[in-house]
Amino acid sequence: MMSARHLRKGLWCGLVKLPLLSISVFGLCSAVALSTAEAQLGKPEGLYYKSWAIIIGIENYVLAPPIPGAISDAKKVAEAFRRLGFDEVVEFYDKDASARRLHQLLNDMLPRKVGRMDRLVLFYVGHAGFMQDSDGQDRGYLVPFDAPVNNATKSITVEHLKEFTRRSASKHTLLLLDAPVFGWETTELSGLSLEGRLAPESDTERRAVYVMSAAGKGEAAVRIEKSSRFVEALLAGLSGSADLDGNGWLMASELGAYLARQVEGASAGTQRPSSLRIDGDGDIVLVEGRKAAMTRGADPRTFSERQQEAKTHYERAVALLQEGKSAEEALERLDRAIGYDPTYGDAYVLKSYVRLEVVPNLDEALATGLLAVKYAPDNADSFYTLGLIHEKRGEFAEAETALRQAVHVNSTYQDVYFALGTLYADHLNDQPRSVEAFRRYLELGGTHARARATVSAADHRPMP
C-alpha cells in the first residue's frame, strides 16, 4: 500500500504553487465518511434537483451566556453536508445569526430560492427557551445572537418554524436542532418504507418534514469539553453509522432512531433526543444507495474486498494530486477510502496534509492528524504532519512533542529537523536546541540557507 512518504518527490511540486509553511520543503512535498451523494448525479433526473444545508451556530451571544465550541461543531456539520454532496451549504455564525437575519432567512430568502424538487436541511446549535401559547401549551423557541434567552419577542418560535416548513416548496425538509425544542404536532408514520425497495425513488415523491431535537423538555443539550453529544452522534450517523440495516440508503427515519439511541445511551438516559415527522407521509433520503450499486456493481462486502476498494480510492487521490487536478475530488476519494477501511492510516496522513495546506481546515486537519498517528504510528509523516498542524494552530508545545515523535520513528528524516529548528527559534525561544536541530538537518544533507546561517553563526560565536 503506497505510503504518504512516497509522494515526497514531485507530488506537490506539480500542483499550482502553494504557500508552504515556514519549513520550506514539507515532508509530503513530494468515525466512516461518505462521498458525494449519488442523489445529485444526473440531476435533474435524480431524487433531488438541488440540496440545501443551512448551518446556524451561535457561540458568543450579546445577551446570553456563551456556548463554547458551538461554532466549531457547526462547521463540522457544514463540512459533513459538503461531503454528502449538498449543492448549497450556507453558514450563519454569531452576528450573522441575528434576529433580523434569521427571520429574513426563513420568511424571504429560502421560500424564494428553494424549489419543489429540492432537499433542505437546517441545522441549529445555540440556546433555546420555551413559553406557553394561548392554549397553555409549552412551545420551544430558538434564540438568535442578539436576543435574550428568557424572552421570545425576537426569537424563532416553533410556530415560526412550522410556518416556514409549510411555505417552503421543498419536497423534503429536515430540521436538526442541537437544543431542547419541543411543542410540535406530528403526522402518522407510514407503514411503508423506502428501505429494500427496487425503485425507492418513486416513494420520495411524497412530502416529508422531519424535526430532530437534541433533548426533551426539562433536559439540557449537554456539551463535554466544548463538544456536543448530539453533534458527535450526528457526524457519525451521517458518515454511515446510522444506516441501520446496512443497505446503503441513509434515511431520516434511520438517522432519528440512531441519534436517540446513541445520545440517550451516552447520557445514561438524562438526554433524550426526539425525532418527529411533522408533515407529509414520506421519508427523506440523506444518502442514496441502491441505484449507484446497480450501475457500479454490488458494494464490497468482505474485509479484503473493502480493503482493496479503499486502496483503489487512495491511489486515485494520489494520482489526482500528482496530476494537479481537483484537490476537492482527492479529498472525496480519501473519504471513500476511509469509509471502506476506517483503519487506513496512510489515507488519514495524506488527508491531514491536504486539510492543512491545500484545502485548509485546521479543525479537520487536527482531527484527521490524530487519527493518522493512531492508525499509522510507524509512519513518521503522521507525526510530522500533526506537528505542523499544531504549529499552525499556535500549539507550540504539542508541535514539539509530535515532531520529536517523528524523529523517534525515523531518525534520518531531515525535514523534521528543519521544522524543529524553526519551531525552537521562532516560537519556543530555545536557541541551543534550534542550532542542534539545524545542525542535524545539515548533517543529513539539508541545504536551506537559514539552517546554514544559524549553525555557522553558532560555530563562530566566541566562547564565553
pLDDT tens-digit profile of 408-421?
Answer: 999 999 999 999 99
Span 166-181, mean pLDDT?
Answer: 92
Min mean pLDDT across 196-205, 270-279, 339-348 is at 196-205
Residue 461, C-beta contacts closer than 8 angstroms, at least 6 positions apart:
none
Binned at pLDDT 50, 70 and 90, residue 379 comes out as very high
Span 126-149, mean pLDDT?
Answer: 86
User: Higher pLDDT residue, 129 or 305?
Assistant: 129
Q: What is the pLDDT of residues 207-239, one digit of tens each?
A: 899 999 998 887 888 888 788 999 999 999 998
* Residue 16 pLDDT > 80: no
Omega before residue 462 within 30° of 0, cis: no
The per-residue pLDDT of the chain, averaged, comes to: 82
- Nearest alpha-carbon partner for 196 in 246, 146, 131: 246
Query: Can you list the domains of the chain with their CATH numbers?
Result: 4-32+302-459 (1.25.40.10), 38-287 (3.40.50.1460)
Q: Half-sphere exposure of residue 157, counting CA atoms within 13 Å on the CB side?
A: 15
Binned at pLDDT 50, 70 and 90, residue 301 comes out as low
pLDDT recorded at residue 261: 87
User: Higher pLDDT residue, 375 or 196?
Assistant: 375
pLDDT recorded at residue 184: 80
- Nearest alpha-carbon partner for 74 in 164, 220, 179: 179
Q: What is the DSSP letter of 354?
A: I
- Residue identified by cell 461531503 is 83
Cell matching residue 137: 401549551
Give first-to-last CA distance, the chain, whole Å.
53
* Residue 393 pLDDT > 70: yes
* Residue 458 pLDDT > 50: yes
* Residue 31 pLDDT > 80: no
pLDDT recorded at residue 210: 94
| Residue 345, phi then psi, degrees to nearest 5 | -60, -45
Binned at pLDDT 50, 70 and 90, residue 460 comes out as confident
pLDDT recorded at residue 185: 67
Alpha-carbon span 414 to 424, nearest angstrom: 16
pLDDT recorded at residue 178: 94
Span 301-329, mean pLDDT?
Answer: 83
Kind plus residue range of the DSSP H or E element containing 177: strand 172-178
pLDDT recorded at residue 81: 95
Q: What is the pLDDT of residues 99-125, one digit of tens each?
A: 999 999 999 999 999 988 899 999 999
Alpha-carbon span 236 to 251, nearest angstrom: 14
* Residue 198 pLDDT > 80: no
pLDDT recorded at residue 310: 87
* Residue 140 pLDDT > 90: no
Span 298-311, mean pLDDT?
Answer: 75
* Long-range contacts from 393-399, C-beta under 8 angstroms, 24+ separation: 393/362, 393/366, 396/423, 396/427, 396/428, 397/428, 399/423, 399/427
Cβ atoms of 202 and 283 closer than 8 Å? no
Cell matching residue 361: 481546515
Helices (H), 88-128: 99-104, 110-113
Cα angle: 248, vertex 251, 254; to 5 degrees: 100
* Residue 298 pLDDT > 60: no
